[in-house]
Amino acid sequence: MPSRSHELFEAAKRRIPGGVNSPVRAFRSVGGEPFFIESASGCRVRDVDGKEYIDYVGTWGPAILGHAPAVVIEAVREAAGCGLSFGIPNPLEVEMAETICRLVPSVERVRMVNSGTEATMSCIRLARGFTGRDRIIKFEGCYHGHVDSLLVKAGSGALTHGRPDSAGVPAALAALTVALPFNDLDAVAAAFARDGREIAAIIVEPVPANAGLYLPEPGFLEGLRALCDAHDTLLIFDEVMTGFRLAPGGYQELCGVRPDLTALGKVIGGGLPVGAFGGRADIMDHLSPDGPVYQAGTLSGNPLALAAGLAQLRELERRDGWEALEALGAAFEAAVRETISGRPLTFHRIGSMFCLYFTEGPVRNLADALRSDRAAFNRYFHACLDAGVYFAPSQFEAGFLSLGHTADDIAATNRITRAALQE
Residue 312 to residue 318: CA distance in whole angstroms = 10
Q: Are 394 and 413 in contact (CB under 8 A)?
A: no
Selecting among 47, 56, 153, 238, the annotated active-site residue is 238
Residue 239 to residue 210: CA distance in whole angstroms = 12
Is 143 annotated as catalytic?
Answer: yes
Selecting among 214, 266, 368, 409, the annotated active-site residue is 266
Peptide bond between residue 259 and the one before it cis (omega within 30 degrees of 0): no
Residue 217 to residue 185: CA distance in whole angstroms = 10
Is 266 annotated as catalytic?
Answer: yes
- Alpha helices (runs of H) in 219-349, residue ranges in sequence order: 220-230, 250-255, 281-284, 303-318, 321-340
What separation in angstroms does the CA of 164 have from each of 124, 142, 153, 156, 420? Answer: 19, 10, 5, 9, 30
Selecting among 53, 56, 138, 143, the annotated active-site residue is 143
Q: What is the dihedral of CA 333, 334, 339, 344, to 10 degrees?
A: 60
- Sheet holding 234-238: strands in order across? 109-113, 275-279, 261-265, 234-238, 199-204, 135-139, 177-180
Peptide bond between residue 23 and the one before it cis (omega within 30 degrees of 0): no
Q: Are 277 and 111 in contact (CB under 8 A)?
A: yes
Backbone torsions φ then ψ of 20, nearest 5 degrees: -140, 160
Which residues are catalytically annotated?
143, 238, 266
